[in-house]
Amino acid sequence: MAVAAIPAGGIAGHIHPEPQGFVRRYVFSLDHKIIGIQYIITAFVFMVLAGLLAEVIRTQLLNANGGFVAPDTYNEVYSVHGSAMVWLVIIPLLTGGFGNLVFPLQIGARDVAFPWLNMLSFWIFPVAGLMLFSSFLMGAPTAGWMEYPPVSLQGAAGTSMWAAAIFLVGVSSTMTGINFVVTILKMRAPGMTFTRMPLFVWGQFATAPLLMIATTALAAALAALFIERQFGVPFFDPTKGGSPVMWQHMFWFYSHPAVYIMILPAFGIISEVLPTFSRKPIFGYKLIAFSSMAIALAGFMVWAHHMFTSGLAPFLQVPFMIITFVIGVPTGIKIFSWTATLWRGKIHYTTAMLFAIGFVGLFTLGGITGIFLAAIPFDLHVHGTYFIVGHIHYVLVGGSLMGVFAGMYYWFPKMSGRLLNETLGKLHFWLFFIGFNGTFIPMHWLGMLGMPREVATYDPQFTFWNRFESFSSYLMTFAILIFFVNVLWSIRNGKRSGPNPWGARTLEWQIPSPPNYYNFKHIPTIYGLPYDFSQPLPYKGLEDELTDSPPPAAAGAH
């Protein structure tokens, strides 16, 4: 048997023919770009649903005695809101969505390492999402996104559906993590050394092992909860010998790293957008890259800082506090480096840039309150209060979601070939920025003064600020509505972008928008970092990309 000749340029050098037919191209696609867009569209659909739930929450809290929905319904609403925003919106957008769409292009690959696995990862995700929302039909979970037993053992039938749905999302995440690690390790174009990788790729490279390793702990916990609820095997019920605190350990062993799953890729987006629109190299490239890895590693060693009130031995709590403080150092380095990147730049105020600068400002506030919460004595006061709710929204909305919006305005031309409308974009940014701060800033002092989280009614002395928050949240929702209008309008009527509307220097901008099915006609060779705005581009082999020349003939069928 003859050994097949390996085409020039190695394995990556060969091009599969583009599939014909709508289903193979756009539904069961193997193309990382299409899969990325599928993730983004699906996650935004879930964001609309979970966002409406958020407005049910805020409408209920207009009055101290609630009254908009029944308490049990309210508990279902915030539980599904939190679960959906974490697992169906932020994580899929930042990993499956922007990860798939962008990083293979940035490392000069034709696809991810395992396209079939990638397709499977995606298709599990909408199924799991529908399962999660269908839990409303049988009584949704009520114990928040954390579902602490024993109260979650008492929850309605939908709690088991919740566990099954989140388990499936976890399977999807794990496979995505494996795919991304292998792709980054094995499929970089020649010359794309680790110290030349764009920082978005570093963000994904730090995130993917978290997806792979941490998610398995969550899967074990969810399986145990499902088995206990359905078959009565006592993992968590203390009257039968189980341990409710074990759930908390397993849950947070995943869910603390999950916070970094939700922020490291956003760090990557910001690290691309800031230098591009400052026309300046990112400041301190190496420290930004290494600090991502440091955060990912240390992220596994801090989970018990969520459990300072759970009855752990006191001497065990101190190291968790100190390691959490330590994570502030690499995070601070990034924040300082982003700020320094702006210094003496030539700053162009695109919407993407506004969101990136807004990200740094808002995420920093969430980071600082995170340090507050790590200090045990203060945590013993504000744990389980609205202070936490304010903190997590500063990190996940002011941080992750602002990063998503920056990424949408930045990469939309690469997805569609058209620009999003900048006027609507700026309106979106400013309304969102004002509405966001109005919604979440007061939560900090409400929590400190005595308002616990996850409540359908509250002490009437807090009415003013709750109304202030609710009205601000309507403004925020209106801003997001503008964003969706912008996307739907621009996809047909937006200005044509051309390959590189931003003057950006990473690889994905050197090929057409949207890219061809095979990404690169010839796999390029990389000679340096992509951030030297005064130098020629550090790539060779891209001469044909923007011409009409056909790609090299597809390698033989196999």
Partner 1 sequence: MIENRAEPVRLDSGFWGATAVLTLLAVASIVFWYVFPIDRYLPEAIVTARQVDTLFRFMAATGSALYIFVAGYLVFFSIAYRAKASDPPGAVGVQIHDNRKLEFWWTLIPSLFVVLLSIVSVRIWYEIMLEPENGLVVEAIGHQFDFTFRYPQINGEVTDEMHLPLGVPVTLNLTSAEVIHGFWVPAMRLKNDTVPGLVTSIRFTPRLVGRYPIICTQFCGVLHSQMDKQVLVIENKSSFDRWFKGWQQKNAHASNALPAAGGGAISLQGGDVASGKQLFSQKCTACHKLAPFDQKLVGPGLLGVLHDPSHPNLVNGQAATPPDVATILQNGYTGSMGAMPNASANGLSAKDIADLVAFLNTLK
- Residue 333 Cβ vs partner 1, minimum distance, rounded to whole Å: 6
- Residue 436 Cβ vs partner 1, minimum distance, rounded to whole Å: 15
Does residue 459 interact with partner 1 by CB under 8 A? yes
**From its phi and psi, is residue 198 left (phi > 0), alpha (psi between -120 and 50) or beta?**
beta
- Residue 70 Cβ vs partner 1, minimum distance, rounded to whole Å: 9
Q: Are 81 and 54 in contact (CB under 8 A)?
A: yes
Residues 384-403 that bind partner 1 (CB under 8 A): 384-385
What long-range pairs does 238-246 form, CB within 8 A, spacing at least 24? 238/150, 242/149, 244/148, 244/149, 244/150, 245/307, 245/310, 245/311, 245/312
- Residue 405 Cβ vs partner 1, minimum distance, rounded to whole Å: 17
Binding residues for partner 1, total number by CB under 8 A? 90
* Tally of CB atoms within 10 A around 311: 9
Does residue 293 interact with partner 1 by CB under 8 A? no
* Spatial separation of the C-alpha atoms in residues 177 and 261, rounded to whole Å: 10
Does residue 542 interact with partner 1 by CB under 8 A? no
Choosing from 49, 368, 427, 555, the residue that interacts with partner 1 (CB under 8 A) is 368
Does residue 457 interact with partner 1 by CB under 8 A? yes
- Identify the sign of the CA torsion 315, 317, 322, 327: positive
- Which of helix, strand or coil describes residue 525? strand
Interface region with partner 1, contact rule CB under 8 A, candidates 172-180, 374-382, 464-472, 539-547: 374-382
Does residue 196 interact with partner 1 by CB under 8 A? no
The amino acid present at 325, given as its one-letter code, is: F
- Which of helix, strand or coil describes residue 539? strand
Choosing from 136, 325, 471, 478, the residue that interacts with partner 1 (CB under 8 A) is 325
- Residue 186 Cβ vs partner 1, minimum distance, rounded to whole Å: 28
Does residue 455 interact with partner 1 by CB under 8 A? yes
Choosing from 34, 80, 360, 441, the residue that interacts with partner 1 (CB under 8 A) is 360
Does residue 426 interact with partner 1 by CB under 8 A? no
* Spatial separation of the C-alpha atoms in residues 122 and 23, rounded to whole Å: 15
Does residue 110 interact with partner 1 by CB under 8 A? no
Burial of 232 (0-12, 13-18, 19+ CB in 10 A): exposed
Does residue 71 interact with partner 1 by CB under 8 A? yes
Choosing from 28, 123, 148, 465, the residue that interacts with partner 1 (CB under 8 A) is 148
* Spatial separation of the C-alpha atoms in residues 550 and 478, rounded to whole Å: 46
- Which of helix, strand or coil describes residue 452? strand
Structure tokens at 372: 């507050």
Taking alpha carbons only, the member of 192, 16, 23 closest to residue 111 is 16
Q: Are 170 and 222 in contact (CB under 8 A)?
A: yes
Taking alpha carbons only, the member of 30, 214, 21 closest to residue 104 is 30
Choosing from 13, 19, 115, 144, the residue that interacts with partner 1 (CB under 8 A) is 144
- Residue 384 Cβ vs partner 1, minimum distance, rounded to whole Å: 3
Structure tokens at 224: 């145990």
Choosing from 280, 414, 418, 522, the residue that interacts with partner 1 (CB under 8 A) is 280
Does residue 495 interact with partner 1 by CB under 8 A? no
Does residue 333 interact with partner 1 by CB under 8 A? yes
Choosing from 45, 375, 427, 434, the residue that interacts with partner 1 (CB under 8 A) is 375
Choosing from 151, 185, 485, 553, the residue that interacts with partner 1 (CB under 8 A) is 151
The residue among 30 and 360 lying less far from partner 1, judged by its C-beta, is 360
Paired with 539 in beta bridges are 526
Q: Are 148 and 247 in contact (CB under 8 A)?
A: yes
Choosing from 176, 255, 364, 473, the residue that interacts with partner 1 (CB under 8 A) is 364
Interface region with partner 1, contact rule CB under 8 A, candidates 130-138, 169-177, 275-283, 410-418: 275-283
Residues 163-192 that bind partner 1 (CB under 8 A): none
The residue among 148 and 518 lying less far from partner 1, judged by its C-beta, is 148
Q: Binding marks (x or -) toward partner 1, 234..253, rule CB under 8 A?
A: x---xxxx-xxx--------
- Looking up tokens 């490291």 gives 264
